[in-house]
Amino acid sequence: MVLYNFKSITVVPTSKDFVDIVLSKTQRKTPTVVHPNYEIGRIRNFYLRKVKFAGQSFHDRLTQILDEFPTLDDIHPFYADLMNVLYDRDHYKLALGQLNTARSLVDNVNKDYAKLMKYGDSLFRCKQLKKAALGRMCTIMKKQQASLTYLEQVRQHLARLPSIDPNTRTLIICGYPNVGKSSFLNKVTRAHVDVQPYAFTTKSLFVGHTDYQYLPWQVIDTPGILDHPLEERNTIEMQSITALAHLRAAIIYIVDISEQCGYNIKQQVALFHSIKALFTNKPVLVVLNKTDVTKVEDLAEEEKKLIQGLATDGAELITMSTLTEDGVSQVKTTACEKLLAQRVEAKLKGKKVNDSLNRLHVAQPKPRDGKERPAFIPPSVQKMREAKVNGEMNELEIDENPEDETPFWLRGVGTKEWKRRYQLKNPDWNFDNIPEIIDGHNIADFIDPDILERLEELEREEEELMKNAENQMDEDEFELDEEQAATVKKIKEKKLSLMESSRLNRKIKTYKPRKYEKDDDMNPDAMGAHLQEMGLDPTRAVQRARSTSRQPRKRTRSATPADGEMDVDASPREIKRQQREASLTPKPGEGFKDFKHKEKALKVAKKAMIKLTKKSARHGEADRHVYDLKPKHLFSGTRGGGKTDRR
């Protein structure tokens, strides 16, 4: 479980943004209208509310910053020292202390001007007190620019730190630069750390997670350490020292015996002895890496003695090659086992174990008589054990793993020993792969062994029948005698009569093609009758259809106004009526019968358009008018310092 989640710290604004946020919030969350003719008590409350709201906003914002940043005295010593290495403890405390002081000053300004506001005797004086209070608060915050900028940088760096749980099962990898620490981390965990053939590729702590015995483990890759005094170590090296000093973990010290890292074995052994004080009360594992390049047997005697000298105080030597993955899993298993054993031993030595033991009770049966009842082993089991030890068991009695000393009742139920003990009617059924389903029989017992041969016989018989049927169809001549032909004719006639009656019942009218209807419908008389039914005068149309002349007719002006023409000498009211009738008179191609038909269609269209325009507040379907380009609730803000000075 991760105890410290530094990624949730809120962003620290700059002093300018801090002031803008608070003043904007004050303007939005408090009333904005006051008039000189108000009662003086109402005016005082108006400005007092603004002062108190701004002060409380500054106070809440600063409190949030102070609460979210970790206090070095309250967190784990590992994180406290790590923050001291990365950010300087004094500078960090000074920045938080300055913000705490700024919060107190803002509270004092808020309190003082709330008292002075009670003595304001006019709108102007109350307003000046409000301006002075907000101005002093903003001045206090503007002086905190350096602290706010520093804390924002610290927050960004804290968010990038790995989430390390100081109390969980941990493996720490350490050693000189470029000895294979990051490669080992990539092999045993799901992490992906950059690996390069030069020193100090890893400049900060990297964490990977792995599983062992169904338990989660965290593996920490530390930057390389050089062998020089503690005072001369830089920030990168001090991160490794901090992790080694404060985390209860198993230490994996990696030594490059091929010396490709740029440091010889003597220097690496010297570094181990210089930081050995950090390994106190921790299981240590010395890993000889890069054995694919140089074998331990190929080393000089002096180097072998130096390496053997590392195996002191419980440290264990293991060889490994991260390139060929030889010994990688062994290193992981050994380190995890050593750490688990130490954690269990520490818990047994602790004070909490007595509290747990007091809550455990081992029940012992009370003797009901004076008889002794020792452990009883059945004779068959005892006989089987003796036969197994003496090698007298046959193949069916021998288990898959003869060297396994586990009693047979603790082994898998599907083993041969268990199957041999099945009590079935026929002993041959004991070792069937398919279990019985009824009366000692399984599915295989109900399958005919000759089923494939019978299937082939059926297929051959079917092919012969198909060939005989085809030959018979070819030999027979498909001809009808007179009686059969008469029957077929009656059936067809009956079918046609049924179709005709069905059409009549459904009132379906059949149409003939136009080329057969020329004599009946496509003539001028039929057209005139059709137009007359629609209420139109067919005289001109019939005459035009009957005339054989193709010459265009000349238009003559008549003495009286014809249809569609207006009388210019008529009154204005009559002219308006004539215009309306002319507009409503159906024209060829519009598809209306008469004047009433067109008027009715226009009314229906008008009703439909009313519904459309009412729904979206439009004049018509083409209306794109925007009624208010700048609505007040979006564009009204704080007023300037001009004539509207009453606020």
Q: How far apart are CA 620 and CA 610, in angstroms?
A: 8
Position 395 scores a pLDDT of: 45
Task: List, for residues 567-626, the tens digit of each pLDDT value.
Answer: 556 777 888 887 777 777 777 767 787 778 888 888 888 888 777 666 666 666 677 777
- Given pLDDT bands bounded at 50, 70 and 90, which one contains residue 27? very high
Contacts (Cβ under 8 Å, ≥6 apart) of 437: 443
Show the 3-state SS of 236-282: HHHHHHHHHHHCCCEEEEEEECCCCCCCCHHHHHHHHHHCHHHHCCC
Q: How far apart are CA 322 and CA 290, in angstroms?
A: 7
- φ, ψ of residue 207 in degrees (nearest 5): -120, 135
Per-residue tokens: 444: 């295989």
Is residue 4 within 8 Å of residue 162, measured between CB atoms? no
Per-residue tokens: 385: 């054990």
Class of residue 587 by CB neighbours under 10 A (exposed 0-12, middle 13-18, buried 19+): exposed
Task: List, for residues 227-268, the tens digit of each pLDDT value.
Answer: 888 888 888 889 889 999 989 899 999 999 888 888 888 888
Task: List, for residues 65-109, the tens digit of each pLDDT value.
Answer: 999 999 888 888 888 888 888 888 899 999 999 999 999 999 999
Class of residue 411 by CB neighbours under 10 A (exposed 0-12, middle 13-18, buried 19+): middle
Look up the pTM and report it: 0.53
Contacts (Cβ under 8 Å, ≥6 apart) of 325: 187
Q: How far apart are CA 569 and CA 563, in angstroms?
A: 16
Hey, CA dihedral for 557, 558, 561, 562, is it positive or negative? negative
Single-letter amino acid, residue 530: H
SS3 347: helix
Question: Facing residues of 254 across strands?
Answer: 175, 287
Is residue 252 within 8 Å of residue 331, measured between CB atoms? yes
Is residue 254 within 8 Å of residue 285, measured between CB atoms? no
- φ, ψ of residue 280 in degrees (nearest 5): -65, 135
